[in-house]
Amino acid sequence: MARMCVKTQRLDVAKVCLGNMGHARGARALREAEREPELEARVAMLAIQLGMLEEAEQLYKKCKRYDLLNKLYQASDQWQKAVEVAELHDRVHLRTTYYNYAKHLEASADCGLALSYYEKSDTHRFEAAEIANETGDWAASYHLARQYESQDEENGLDDQLMNLALLSSPEDMIEAARYYEEKGVQMDRAVMLYHKAGHFSKALELAFTTQQFAALQLIAEDLDEKSDPALLARCSDFCIEHGQFEKAVELLLAAKKYHEALQLCLEQNMTITEEMAEKMTVSKDSKDLSEESRRELLEQIANCCMRQGNYHLATKKYTQAGNKLKAMRALLKSGDTEKIVFFAGVSRQKEIYIMAANYLQSLDWRKEPEIMKNIISFYTKGRALDLLAGFYDACAQVEIDEYQNYDKAHGALTEAYKCLSKAKAKSPLDQETKLAQLQSKMTLVKRFIQARRTYTEDPKESIRQCELLLEEPDLDSTIRIGDVYGYLVEHHVQMEEYQMAYKYLEEMRKRLPSANISYYVDQRTVDTVHQGLGLPPSRIVPERVRHNSMEDHKDVYEEVMEEVENDP
C-alpha cells in the first residue's frame, strides 16, 4: 500500500501506512520533507524511505531538484553521477561535492585522487595541514609552516606557544624564550623558559633586569651548594636591595650560608618560623660546619627565638645544641607545666630538677597533689635537701594557716628537720640556726597538740599549758595566737565561765587588732558570752568556710616521706 502511494502520490495515505508499519524513521523523514514546495520532492523522500531509489531519482529529475538528487547520489555511493550532476546542474554545490568525494577517496586510501579533488574543491589550503599532521611528515609540516609564515599568517598564539615550548627540547625552549624576550612582554615566561632549559645565568640576568621576584624564587629553589657562589650572592644582594628580605633569607639558606641568613633575620627583626629554623639547622653528619660551629649556630638561633618570645622553639634549639640548662630556662618562660615536668624527668640533671621544682612552687600546689609530689620528687632527685626542707616548712605553715591541722603541720616540720639535717650546707652556722628555728617550731606545735590531747583527761592542765604558750615570745611565728585564744574561750563557755571567756576575747582583740575574730571563734560562741554577762550582742565578721585540713594530700605526704627516707 505504501509503495502504491508513491505512484499515486497520496502522501496522506502514506503517513497512515508508515504508522501502521511502525516505520518511525520514515514518518519523521516524510514530515521533514513537507517543507519542500514541490510535491514530487516530497514523494521522492517517501520513495527513498521505502528503498525505491529509481523512482526517487525520476521524481527529483521531474521537479528539477538537482541539489536533492546530488545528495541522493552521494548517500547511495554513486559519486560519478553526483559529480556529473553537480558539474551540469548544481554548480552551487560543486566544490562541496568535490570535497566530499575527496574525503571518500581519502578514507578509501586513494590519496592521489583525493589530493586532486581537494585541489578542485579549493580546500587544500587547510586540509594540507591536517594531512601533514595525520601522516606525521615533519618535512611537509615544516614546509607548510614556512609557507604560512611567508604569507604573514602568524596567529599570535603565545599561550599555546608557551605550553608547546615546555614540552619541547632545551633548544626549542631557548628559542621560544628569545621570542618572548624580543617581544618585550610576558618576560616571566622568558625567564621560566631559560630556567627550564638550564640557562641559569641568562634566566637570572633577565629576572634581575625585569625584577621578577617570583621567578627568582623558583630559580633559587634549584640552586644548591654546587651552584656558583657569586650567583647566589648576587641573588640575595638583589633581594636585599629591593626589600625582599624573606626571599633573601631563603636564597642564603639555599646557599647554606646559615650565619648570614640568621644575621639578616636579626637586623631586619624577622620572625624565625619553625620551618626557617629547621633549614638553618645543620645535621650532625654534615661537613659544612664543625661540631663547635654547629652548636654555636644552634644557640644563636635559640637566642633569637627567645627574644621573639618563641620559647618552645628556643627550647628545641638549645636542646639540639646540647645546652639543657638554657633549654630549661626557655621552657620555664613558656609556662608549659606539662612539658617542664617531662623535660626535667628526661634530662636527669641536678640543676634542672631544682629549676623545675622552684617553678612548680609558684603554682597552686596546695590544691594539686600531683604538683606537690613533683616538687618533693625533684628536690629529692636534685639533692637539694635544704630547699626541700624549706618546702616542708611552707607546707607546715599552710596546714596551720589554712586548715588549722597542727598534727600534719608537726609532721611536715619533722620532715623539714630531717631534710635540713642531711643537707650539705655551705655555711654550717646558718644550717645550725635554721635547725634550731625548726626545732623551736616543732616544740611549740607539739606543746599545743599535747595540750589539746590532754583535755579529756585533765582539762585544767590542758588550759594551763595553753596559758603558758601565750607567754612564749615567738609564738605567733609558728602557732596562730587566735587558735590558742579560741581554744580557751570555747573551754570557758562550756564551763559557763563567761567572765573568763570574755577576758580572753578582749585579750585576743588587743593582741590581734587587725584580725577577724571569726577566724578563731564563731558568732554563736560570742553571743553566748554576751548573753551570759548581760551584755549587748556584738556582731563580728561572718566566719569563713573552713576545710578539713589537707586531706586530699594525705597520700602525697605518705609517698613523700617514704621517698625521702629511702633516698640513698
Amino acid 132: pLDDT: 62
Calculate the CA 168 to chain-centre distance: 39
Residue 174 located in a structural domain:
no
**Residues with Cβ within 8 Å of residue 388, at least 6 apart in sequence:** 376, 379, 380, 416, 419, 564
393 falls within a domain: yes
- The answer to the question of residue 379 being in a domain is yes
Q: In degrees, to the nearest 5, what angle opens at C-alpha 424 toward C-alphas 418 and 425?
A: 100
pLDDT tens readout for residues 40-66: 777 777 677 777 877 777 777 878 888
Residues 449 and 548 both lie in one domain: no
280 and 301 in contact (C-beta within 8 Å)?
yes
8-state DSSP, 542: P
Cell triple for 46: 517517501
* pLDDT of the residue at 568: 42
Where is pLDDT greater, at 60 or 311? 311
pLDDT tens-digit readout, 293-306: 888 889 888 999 99
Q: Which of 473, 497, 522 is the endpoint of a domain? A: 473
More confident call, 567 vs 8: 8
Other beta carbons less than 10 A from residue 163's beta carbon: 10
- Is 114 in contact with 105 (CB distance < 8 Å)? yes
User: pLDDT, tens digit, for every residue of 417-445?
Assistant: 999 988 887 788 888 888 999 999 999 99
Average pLDDT, the chain: 80
Per residue in 93-141, pLDDT tens? 888 888 888 888 878 877 778 777 777 777 766 666 666 666 666 676 6
User: For the segment 139-158, what is each residue's pLDDT rounded down to a tens digit?
Assistant: 766 666 666 666 555 555 56
Q: Are residues 429 and 440 in the same domain?
A: yes
Distance CA 318, CA 303 (A): 9
pLDDT digits (tens, 9 = 90+) for 485-502: 899 999 988 998 989 989
The stretch 230-258 carries a mean pLDDT of 78
Domain-embedded: residue 118: yes
Rounded mean pLDDT, 239-255: 79
Nearest to 479 by CA among 397, 363, 366: 397
Other beta carbons within 10 Å of 446: 15
Same domain for 428 and 323: no
Residue whose C-alpha cell reads 633569637 in the numeric block = 304
Whether 20 and 103 map to the same domain: the answer is: yes
Q: Are residues 445 and 382 in the same domain?
A: yes
State yes or no: pLDDT of 542 exceeds 50: no
Query: Of 473, 508, 538, which marks where a domain is finished?
Result: 473
pLDDT score for 541: 45
Instruction: Give me the phi and psi of 404, to 5 degrees please.
Output: 55, 35
pLDDT of residue 453: 93
Residue-wise pLDDT tens digits, 21-38: 877 877 787 677 777 778
* Mean pLDDT, rounded, for 346-353: 89
My answer on whether 364 and 320 are in the same domain is: no
Residue 371 is which amino acid? I
pLDDT of residue 163: 79
Give this prediction's pTM. 0.58
Helices (H), ranges, 382-517: 385-398, 406-422, 428-453, 459-470, 481-494, 498-511
- Evaluate whether 431 touches 420 at the Cβ level (below 8 Å): yes
Q: Please tell me the distance from the alpha carbon of residue 459 to that of residue 491, in angstroms, as a whole number.
A: 9
- Number of domains making up the chain: 4
Identify the band that residue 554 occupies on the pLDDT scale cut at 50, 70 and 90.
very low
Alpha carbon 272 to its chain centroid, in Å, reads 16
| Inside any domain, residue 364 | yes
Residue range of the domain that includes 498: 474-565
Residue 517 lies in a domain: yes
Say if residue 8 is in the same domain as residue 126: yes
Q: Which residue has the higher pLDDT, 264 or 57?
A: 264
- Shared-domain flag, residues 17 and 142: yes
| Cell matching residue 499 | 567572765
Position 266 in a domain: no
Q: Please tell me whether residues 324 and 400 are part of one structural domain.
A: no
Looking at the structure, tell me whether residues 444 and 385 fall in a common domain.
Answer: yes
- Helices 311-320 and 337-347, interaxial angle, to 10°? 10
Based on the fold, state whether residues 448 and 522 are members of the same structural domain: no
Q: Which of 412, 443, 473 is the last residue of a domain?
A: 473
Helix (H, G, I), strand (E, B) or coil at 273: coil
Q: Within this chain, do residues 304 and 373 fall inside the same structural domain, yes or no?
A: no
